Every structure is written in structure tokens, then in C-alpha cells.
Structure 1
């Protein structure tokens, strides 16, 4: 990525030991003070980014630190056309939208369009994808569909996290930080060689504890705090000159919520009114499995990864095995214990409201996945042909227990749904990509992937004696669903090819064009309030076309990377939730509403005018619209315009006036401009100030263009100042994110959901 050019370093393959990190954020190319090469594995092999015919943004560990990127969600500021936010209620879950393709549904029957990978292992569930970067070598964000080499569920793109491997020397670091809302943060890592050049190990850990920034006006509690910790161990066995075996395991505990809240201008506080408490279980209003749940969100996850690499002549074979288990438990109050019709706010500024119904959503879910991949890379015919190919298998099992209950001010609570959903996925794939160099400056790329995927689902009602919230909202089982004519299995067999041409005009300028197909799996509307609404939605498929330039000028003092794209995403999947005014409950509907068409331009520009000064600018321009609407949407529009208001207007992608809404989270223009400079105070001490300005054009966050769900154009600012001593191997950093404490809307469900407030932190780090 151009914005990381001054920090990136030439590195070996991700499966090899990482190069030593520079002590300052400027990594020079020789003595020129220019930019170094950026090595990525976006095509599943190590390559110079400037030679890769893909739209890729890459960040080294040093750049992540300098830009205050401590978790995956922080990446959104620095990747063109990437919008992200915590999902409603869930501080541990990120909902990404990349080039207009996104997902705000965390239930396991809905897959994400922006896949997350850790050390080449796919992370299928959204519930814990907002993890901390506490021992990362680099992060790559691939924009656009990656259906050939990464596979299913990457129609929008992929986030590829590469963890640091154990080093050959005993060394490490320890870091402590303190910030706003009494936020304490500890991080550390140590490399421990057991047998020199044979058996290497690493242990890393982090801990975060911070008070909530939301002040509950009913209970007096502080909400939306953060308490999390994690530990990771890694082993590298150098079994021979041709065999390397990397093993790693991690465990993370994350307690973080994104409960609905309002901004009160009179005292500049975030407030809410829910009657639910973090220290009081729900009890008998829900089924026994959920009775011990309390307000908030907790995710516990552990994983095992094995990568056995064998060098076989001109080829390299990797046997990549992954297992991940996730347990998530949460409770939220969607109505915030308010009379919804009485809540008044201007934009996001709270004005007044009256007490009302407490709308409880409780959830326990268990997710486990196993993946096995065999990948082979190499060269043939004296380097005329590069190739990468392999076989892939995934088995995923999910069990979700959830309930929706309404607790009014007076009278008996009512239940809308209280059920258990079991669903699974089994997928096989084979893939190959060939890069032919018929003449030195020209590369022709052709790739193909075949995926065979099977999904199934079962429904079972949980025991709950409360009266139902509406006549239709009755408990149902798998038999009721099949009796409604709804299939409970899905099968997809899909070919996803890729074609590209790139031409090296000279050593510093490359042009490329590409065409890529991807697909995202189908699923079911599992949050349905009654059996006939548990409808399936089919897979979505995309053909994306890109053209771009990768260029460097003035002896690597200027880097300009531009990418233009255009795509049509067929059968676009969109989760939508809206209030049913008849029963005062939330209706959830996921459907293939329409096709989504989008085109735009992305730019990443980096300038190093003098040694030590790095100026970067990344921007995205896009224009999206719905076309070829689902017949059900046309019928909904007709009913709305005919005056049938309930559940027809301001629902799905139909606006309050019966028009078709604009796509959500697709700002016409977004941009981040930043800079950092290294002042050398003496031979061993340096001072590094940094700043970044993020601007985002106005866009909708409500699927139906509800006027309350529009976010105006806004700017966010980050600043940092780091004092570093190479002699002491230590640094002291003061930093702030969203420094002006700007409040913006990120999502909409009954009320707007807001971003996190501004934060500051002091960090002291010691390397050894």
C-alpha cells in the first residue's frame, strides 16, 4: 500500500522468519531516503506489491503502531472504500462494507462478504473478528472479489492477518498504557529459542480493561466498557533444510458491547436508559439456557493452526490445518426501555423520551470450524511460468440459542421467539492460478476455482410459557418450516475464474487489467418470527473488472497506485431489521433484494520529499445503485404507495415514501490524508509526530433511507507523538484517536447506533 511504503520492508515468504523490524518508522531504500519494497502474499506467494495485479493495502507492524491501529476495526481509516463499525450490541464483532458489499447480521446463517484470514486460515464467524493486534507481522487488505485464491465469501474482499513467527534470538518487548475512561493496556511478547536453528518458540499476550463510556440513567451503571485478554503460543520447527513446521495456538476472552446510546449535548455524555443490568440475570422470562445471561456481550475463542512446509525442488508444498472454536453470549435492549414514539433527538443529540417497553434480545451461540488446505507454489520452464494451486476443505457447525422478549411498563411480558437453530456447512474446493511471462515485461494470468458447498439447518422451539407478542409469532420447528415449503438444505457448485494482464512499462511503472468472479453463500432468515418467514436466500455472485497502475518516481520518493473498478453483484444479500408497529416487535428479514451495481476509483499516494518525512493520501470514489429488483420489492413498493403502511413502507430497501432506497454505507468520496516525521534529536534519540485526517462524504446507514439513518459528511482526526531511544530500546508515546470527539452514526435499528467517542492514551514500551 502506498501509505505504508515508507515503512514496509523487503521480507521473505510469510512462512519464513520475519526480517528484523526497524527501530524507527522510516525504512529507507538504500541511502536515497526513498521508499522500500512492499512484499505481500495477496496471490498466496511472496511478491513485490508493485508487481501484483490486485488492489491491495498492506501494513507492517511498525505502521500499525504508528497509526494507532490496535485492532482490526481501526483499519477502516486507511483502506480506500472500506467502511466498518461494531455490529449492533456487539463490541467484539465488526461489520465491514467494502466497495458497497457488507453485512450487519451476526447470526451464523448469514456469511460475510469480507473474509478474515489469520495465517491463511479462514475465520468464518463475525462474532470475534474485532481482535487485538498484539503480535502481528503485517496485515493485508485485498479489495474486490478474491474467489479464485481465497474462495467463498470474499465478494467484497479479504483481510489477511500474518502473525509473527518465532525468532532465532532471545528477545521481545513489554508495553503498558493508560488512557481515557481508565483504560489500562498491557502487551508483551518474547522469542525463546529452544534449540538454535532447529526449534524456536514464541509467547505473546495482551490485557485491556476500560470503563464504559455510556452512563445509564436508570441503573447508574457504566456500559460499553472493554475487558479483554489473550495469549498466543507459537513453535517453529526447522526440521531440515527443506522442511519447516509452524504450530500456533491462541485463546482470547473479549467482553465488549455496543449497546444503543444517545449523545446529550448539555453535558457532552453518552447516555442510555435500559432497565437491564450487567449484574442481574434475565431469569424466567427466557428459556433455561438463556436464564443466566446478563446485559452485555462476551466472546471466548481458541484456535490451533499448523503449517507444514516442504520444499520439493522448484515447488513448495504447504499443508495448512486450522481449528477454531467460538462461544458468544450477549443480551441487549433494542428499545432501550423507552416508549419508542416518545424519543426525540436532533440528528444524534438526545432531547427527551418517556419510559416504555424493554425489548430483550438474548443469545448463546457455539461455533466450531475445521479447515484443511494443501497448497503448492512454484516456477516452471525456467521461470516462464509461475503457478499456485491446491485443495481446500471446510467443515463448520453452529448452534445458536436466542430469544426476543418484550417487558412492558405494566402487564405481562410477551415472547416473540425463543428457539435453537443448528446449522452446518461442508465445502470442498480445488483451485489453480498460472502466470505466464511470454516476454519479459508482459504477464498473462489465468486462474480457476471450483467449490462444492452443502448447507443444512434445523429449528427447535425452546420452552417458554410467556404469552406470544402477536398472533403470527408462534413457536415452530423444522417440520413447520418444511410444511411451509421451505427447503432446509442448500447446495452450491460454483466456478470462480480470474483473468489478468499486466505490463511492466519500465522497472517502476506497471499497468494491469483484470476480471474476477466471486460468490457468497446463501442461507436462511433464521431470526424469523414465524415459520413462513424463515425463507432461504440464494448465493450472490459477482463479476468485477479492474484496471490500474502501480508506479514509482524520483528514485522511489513518490509512489502512485491507482485502481478503477466496476462490478455487478447478482442477487445481492442484505439483512434488514425494522419495527413492526402492530406488535411493537422487531421484524428481521434477509433477502436477495436486488442486484447491486457499483463503479469507482481508488488511489494510494505516498511522498517522501525529504528523508524521514512520510506523507500519504488514500482515497475512494464510488457510485452504487440497485437494479433488477426482486419482484417482492416491486410488490412492496406498490402496497406502500397504495397506503398500506404497516411493514411495507420504511422496511427493507423501500423508503418511507415508497421509493427504492440508495445502497447503505457507500459514500461517494472518502479520504485519509496523513503524515509522520522523524526528528533525530541526537544519535540515539528521535521524536516522531504523526497526524491523520479522515474525511467521509454523507451516506445512509439505514437500509430503507429512514431520514434518521443518514450520516452527514464528517471528518475525524488522529494524532500521535512518540519519543524513541535506540540506546535504551524504549519509547514513550502519546496518542489520540477521534481526537475532537466527533459523534457519527454507524448503523440504524429503531435508533441510530453511534461510533465510539474520542480516546487518548499514553504508552511506554521496552524492547529487550
Structure 2
């Protein structure tokens, strides 16, 4: 096998890792960050979309173990827990908040190393993750129906030609302990590169269970294995293989009647997930005119979500088991420089996509302390099939002006079937959906010079309809229709002061049509709820996202972001009159502002000192009631000491002032002291103050 002498056009760009360096008498320049937000890899500052890049150094600075612990860095992004982790994501006020026994279609896509984890946010662990990209706004032309609000992509470290090894160990409060190893390098000279990592994270969690005398009922126990192989099959063909295993065995015991961190539950729940995933990608330089790319993925996941239904010593309990198999295949062709059309002015991309999800579920909801009929036992299956054709043209009207036009046509099919009973009502349901969906993008990008990009775009996103599985619902509420959204956005991406300052500014206005809303109302005198999705609303979402990254000197850096959001229901016709009418009100989990401001100080080559404050405005917990969170701001800090070229010791703290703030909330009657007659607000808190020490060895 000959050594690779001609790098593939796109692969060469992907494998380029810019260095953060400067001459002694020059200002420090911020690096170009390569992102995958479009079909063609590009740098973040030349990608015409509002995005937030969270790099490895930022993840490590706060000893972040899961995606939920860094998402506050992205403007107009929120997270909902209701589980051991905040694993339901919202961007610009759109996104699901929870899942029990009902099948759901996400609004925010979660892509890890090219594999769709959109319904499996618990798998978003962070060891050996090189970068996180948070893409705000509809991304349907590339990512399809899971990204009407945006997408979050996570990219682990790539194999390298040189041998590299990383070992990391850490300890922290609440009996937190971590250990991981990553190793990579050349396996076969000039042919095969590889990298593998394994990492375990354990913590007792942040709840004290007084009934059981335990402090680990909200425990975290997470194991992640990743491996990547890059095969240079020929001079023009490269194959990438990815294998992942995620084993999450977390507890779930988060809610109390007095909104404290002292649980009275006698049956604490679980939030577990066992996932295996595989992907293979091919990049083939078919000619000087055309690049062919293909990607096939498979994912199998078994999960359990359970909790004490009364939060006390009654025997009310919910348990939801799911087994998922996901298959996907994508084939696309992209023009290289010689393949441009229209007199060499236009790059083109065309492709086909196929995604199948086969889900089997089993749910048990037992509230018989309220009466003998308050028992639901349901099993069934939910299968979805997506088949899409897509294309995009990037027409270079001048050296500086580019017109982007994209289209995606998608056939969506869903089959649902169940058997069992819902609160003693027999259920034997079969439903089928079959619809054709359209997404589009029209954009105009003006690259004024190497440092200034002005862009504007109009996109049409979509989210397919779905099925409600509650047998006690009338037939006209058993399914709901597709939601569409038109989004207009304009932005400016800039470099200033010889590259030492980067600023980004984006403004957007979105109109949601047939918005899918979640309704929930407690059945009086019981622990059960009537819950369903419906096309109850039209909504307008508008706002601003701004960020900066600035090396004021070669020793001092500041970073920050600000999101402003006005997201309201223009009309709201709740099909359940007993539920709250949210017309004219801010939508759920859409704080009017989010912010973060951080600093880094490098007194010498050995030390790095960091601090940042991040927070958000209050927000409604649900579209079905009027309970809200409190506004908050939290402070994080860390100090790194490097020595002997290989070692780094980090001392870190998150939520330094021990602020209590909520990531999930409910409003209903659950307190026996009030005879279950008074609706009250109940919240799940995010982590309290936690600090620790992490030691890293790099070779």
C-alpha cells in the first residue's frame, strides 16, 4: 500500500487541527474551529448559522461529566430533567420536556459521532469528547425532522498517526470518583489508525433518603467505551469505523413534598440505559469533480425509567421499559472544484437518507393507594420509518456573495400498537401515520473580507405528527399532525484585532404553525394524569444571540454569550378545558434571557485560572399550568497546574455559592397534609455546590 500523498478535499479539512500559538511580539490569535454544521466542513466563523462551540478545554475546566453540565454556555438553550440527568433539551423555547409511556418525536437532535441519539440524552457523557456544537434554529435540510429547533452534535477525539495516551482520575464531593484511559495511534503504517477510550463515573448523588437511611438513591453510575478506526483503503478512499458502548445505572429520587433534598420515598426509582452503537463512514474521491460519501449506523438501547409516584411511603410506583433498535443509511454526492456547475459557479450536494426506529415498550403505572382501579399496564411497539431525498446548491454569485438553496423531501411512516389496560380501561390500539414532509432553506452569505461574514436565511423546519396512547382519550385526540416552522435569521460573524477577538451576533424570527403542545391535567382524587400531545397552538419565537471570545493580552482572556428570547403563543386552543390556557403567554422552558461570562488567566506556562458566571431568567415549567422556576446565576471556577509536559492537576468547583435552582417542575395536588386538594409547586433541583480534584496524564 502506497502512503497517502493526495489528501481528500473534505477529509483533509476535517483532519486539520489549528494550534493556538503566537509569535513573541504578536497578539494571541484565536484558532479556527472546524465544525460540521453543513454538508461541507468549514470553520465556525465561515458557517452561516448561529452556533456555539464548546471545546475539550472548556469541558475539562469544570470536570463536566455529562452534556447537561455545559449547556448553559449556549445562548437560548435550556435543559429539562425529570430524570437522573437533564436529558431533554430545548433550543429557542422548543423541545420536549419529558417522556413517560407515550412515544415522542424530539425537536432537538442529538448526534454523537454521526449516530442519532435524539431520544437517548442520558448517553451524552463527555470523556474524550473533542467538541460539542449547539446549532440554533431549524436544521432540517441536513438533519431532518429531529431538528426543527436545532441540533446538538458531539464529536469524540479522532485517531492520530502519532501514539497518544491519556489517563485521568478524579475525586469530588458526594463520593464522586472518575477514572478513564484513552489510547490511540498507528496500527498499520500508512493504512490504519485507531483510538479507544473507557471511562467510569460514579457519585452518590445529591439526595438524602430519610426513609431508607441512604444517601445514594439519586446515584450516578456511568460507564462509556468509545473506539474509532480510520482505514486508508486506497489513495482516494477512506473508511471510518465507530463503536460505542454506554452503560448508565443511575438512581432517580429527586422530588419531595417540601422541595428539599431530603427524600421520604420508600421506593426510589432508576434511570438506566444500556446502549451499543456502531457506524461506518466512507469518503471516496471518485474524481476531481465528485466526492461520494456514505454512512451507515446501528444502535440498540434498553432503558428503564422508574420512580416513586407519591414521594412518600405509599406503594405508588411507575416503571417504563423501552428497547430500541435504530438503523440509518445516508448516501450523498458532493461536487469538488472541477465538478461545479453553471460555469463553475455552483457547488452542489445531493443525497438519500433512510432511518428506521423499532421501539418496544412496557409500562406499569400503579396508584392503587387512591383506589383499586388506578392501575395501568401497557405493552406495545412503535415503529417509524423516514425516507428522504435532499439537495443543496451553493451558488457563488460573486467572489464575496453566495446564494444557498436547499430542499429536503421526506416520507414519514409510523405504526403504533398496544395491548393492556389504562386505569382499568382495556386498551388495544393500532394507529398508522403516513405523510410527506418538506423542509427548505434559502440563504444569502456575504463574505466581506476574510474576517467578516454577514448572512441571512429563511428556513422551513418540520416535525412529524404522532400518536397518543391513552385509552381514556376520545378518538379525535389519539393522534396529532405535523408541526411546521418558518424561521428568518440574520447574523454577523467577525474577527477583530488581528484575530484576537471573535464576535458573533444573530437575530431571528420564527413562526410555528400547528405547534405540538403537551397537555397534562390531574384526574381529581387520583395520582393519575390525562396527558397527550395536540396541535393546539400557533406561536412566535423571536430573539437575539450574541457571543464574544477575546484575548485582551497574551495572559488574559474573556468569553461570554447572551441570549434574549420572546416566545409566545399567538393562539392556544387547549382540547382539554381543564388544563391551563397559555394563550399570549411565554412558552414553557423558554427563559427570556440566558447569559454566561467567563475569564481565563495564564500567569505563566504552568498555571491557568478560570471563572465563569452563568444563569437565566425564570421560566414556566409547563404549558399546562402557571408554575415557574426562579431566575438564577451560578459561579464556577477552576485552577490548572501543568508540569513535566505530561501532567495536569485541576482543582474545580461548580455552583460555588451553592445556589438551589430547578431543572424540572410540576404543579398538582400531592400533599396528604392538604387532603390532596391543593395544587402546589414541586421542583427538581440541579446539582448543589460540588468541588473536586482531577489529575490528567497525557503522552
State the TM-score, normalized to the length of structure 1: 0.83
Residue number in structure 2 paired with 1:765: 696
- For the residue of structure 2 that corresponds to 1:153, the secondary structure is helix
2:213 is aligned with 1:215:
no
- Equivalent of 1:678 in 581, 602, 610: 602
In the alignment, which residue of structure 2 is the partner of 1:641? none
SS at match of 1:44: coil
In the alignment, the residues of structure 1 paired with residue 147 and residue 588 of structure 2 have an alpha-carbon distance, to the nearest angstrom, of 19
**How is 1:40-55 mapped onto 2 (pairs within 5 angstroms)?**
40-55=35-50
Counterpart of 1:622 in structure 2 is 565
Deviation at 1:506, TM superposition (A): 2.6
Q: Distance in 2 between matches of 1:21 and 1:733?
A: 24
Residue 654 in structure 1 maps to residue 581 in structure 2: yes
Distance 2:91 2:238 in 1: 35
Q: Does 1:474 align with 2:433?
A: no
Give the deviation of 1:590 after TM superposition.
Answer: 1.7
Of residues 227, 234, 237, the one that matches 2:231 is: 237
Residue 526 of structure 2 aligns to a residue in which SS?
coil
Instruction: Please report how far the alpha carbon of residue 456 of structure 1 lies from its aligned counterpart in structure 2 after TM superposition.
Output: 0.8
Cα distance in structure 2, aligned partners of 1:302 and 1:83: 27
Question: Relative to 1, partners in 2 of residues 1:428 and 1:395: Cα closer, same or farther, differing over 3 Å?
Answer: same
- Decide whether the 8 Å contact of 1:226 with 1:255 is kept in 2: yes
Find the aligned partners of 1:12 and 1:332 in 2 and give their Cα distance. Answer: 51
| Alignment-derived partner of residue 63 in structure 1 | 58
1:417-440 alpha-carbon deviations (Å, 9 max, x no partner): 101121101110011111111211
Secondary structure, counterpart of 2:425 in structure 1? coil
Name the residue aligned to 2:675: none
The DSSP-based 3-state class of the residue aligned with 2:72 is helix
Q: Which residue of 2 aligns with 1:287?
A: none
Q: Does 1:448 align with 2:448?
A: no
Provide the residue aligned with 1:8 in structure 2: none
Q: Determine the structure 2 residue equivalent to 1:3.
A: none
Q: Are 1:105 and 2:23 an aligned pair?
A: no
Aligned position for 1:579:
522
Q: Does 1:330 align with 2:305?
A: yes
1:304 & 1:15 partners in 2: Cα distance? Answer: 24
1:256 to 250, 258, 278: 250
State the Cα deviation string for residues 594-622 of structure 1 (Å, max 9, x = none).
01211011101122110132201101001
3-state SS of the aligned residue for 1:218? Answer: coil
2:390 paired residue among 419, 426, 431: 431
3-state secondary structure, aligned to 1:64: helix
Q: Secondary structure at the match of 1:632?
A: coil
Q: 1:516 aligns with which of 456, 459, 467?
A: 459
Task: State the distance in 2 between where 1:436 and 1:449 align.
Answer: 18
Q: Do the aligned residues in 2 keep the contact of 1:172 with 1:767 (CA within 8 Å)?
A: yes
CA deviation map 1:313-341 (0-9, x unaligned): 2322111000001101132023212xxxx
The alpha-carbon deviation at position 20 of structure 1 amounts to 5.8
1:557 Cα deviation from its structure 2 partner: 2.2
Q: How many residues align?
A: 670
1:360 pairs with 2:317: yes
Who is 1:395 aligned against?
Answer: 356
Question: Residues 164-183 of structure 1 correspond to what in structure 2 (within 5 A)?
Answer: 164-183=157-176
Aligned 1:61-460 pairs, distance under 5 A: 61-86=56-81, 88=82, 90-92=83-85, 94-106=87-99, 107=101, 109-126=103-120, 128-222=121-215, 223-262=217-256, 270-277=261-268, 295-312=269-286, 313-337=288-312, 357-379=314-336, 380=340, 384-408=345-369, 414-460=373-419
Contact between 1:528 and 1:589, CA under 8 Å: does it hold in 2? no
**Residue deviations 1:571-590, cap 9 Å, x none?**
21222333222434222222
Q: Is the 8 A contact 1:528 1:587 kept in 2?
A: no
Deviation at 1:44, TM superposition (A): 2.1
SS at match of 1:103: coil
Q: Deviations over 1:370-409 (max 9, x none)?
A: 000012223315863222221100111001100110142x
* Contact 2:256/2:264 (<8 A) preserved: no
- Residue aligned with 1:555, SS: helix
Q: Deviations over 1:458-505 (max 9, x none)?
A: 01117xxxxx85xxx412112xxx6xxxxx111121121100001122
1:166-221: CA deviation from partner (whole Å, max 9, x where unpaired) = 21122210000000111110121001422112112211110011113211121222
- Aligned residues of 1:423 and 1:455 also touching (Cα < 8 A): yes
Q: C-alpha separation between the residues in 2 aligned to 1:502 and 1:691? A: 35
| CA apart distance, 1:761 | 1.8
Tell me the secondary structure at the aligned position of residue 244 of structure 1.
strand
Structure 1 segments unaligned to the other structure (5+ residues):
1-10, 278-294, 338-354, 463-467, 483-487, 637-647
My pick for the range that moved more, 174-183 or 148-157, is: 148-157
Aligned to 2:588: 664
> What root-mean-square deviation, in Å, do the aligned CA atoms of Structure 1 and Structure 2 show?
2.4
Structure 1 residues 73 and 105 mapped into 2: Cα distance closer, same or farther (>3 Å)?
same
In 1, Cα distance between equivalents of 2:651 and 2:119: 34
Cα distance, 1:676 vs structure 2: 0.8
Which shifted more, 182-191 or 566-575? Answer: 566-575
Q: Is the 8 A contact 2:426 2:471 kept in 1?
A: no
Contact between 2:61 and 2:650, CA under 8 Å: does it hold in 1?
no
Gap regions ≥5 residues in structure 2: 1-7, 669-681
Instruction: Give the Å deviation of 1:454.
Output: 0.5
Instruction: Give yes or no for contact 2:254–2:261 (8 Å, CA) kept in 1.
Output: no
Q: Is the 8 A contact 2:218 2:254 kept in 1?
A: no
Write out per-residue CA displacement over residues 82-126 of structure 1, whole angstroms, 9 at most, x where no aligned residue. Answer: 00132x2x2256111110101023256211100011222322423
d(CA) in 2 for partners of 1:395, 1:536: 20
Distance 1:606 1:233, change over 3 A: closer
Matched with 2:486 is 543
Q: Decide whether aligned partners of structure 1 residues 310 and 115 sit closer, same or farther in structure 2, where only a CA change above 3 A counts.
A: same
Asked whether the equivalents of residues 105 and 575 of structure 1 are also in contact (C-alpha less than 8 Å), the reply is: no
Q: 1:254 to 1:695 in 2, by over 3 A?
A: same
Sort the Cα spacing of 1:529 and 1:760 in 2 relative to 1 into closer, same or farther, 3 A.
farther
Superposed displacement of residue 263, structure 1? 9.4
**How far has the Cα of 1:244 moved from its partner?**
0.7
Q: CA deviation at 1:13?
A: 4.9
Which one of the candidate residues 646, 668, 681 is aligned to 1:729? 646
Shift of 1:74: 2.1
Distance 2:130 2:525 in 1: 53
**Is the partner of 2:367 in helix, strand or coil?**
strand
1:424–1:456: 8 Å Cα contact kept in structure 2? yes
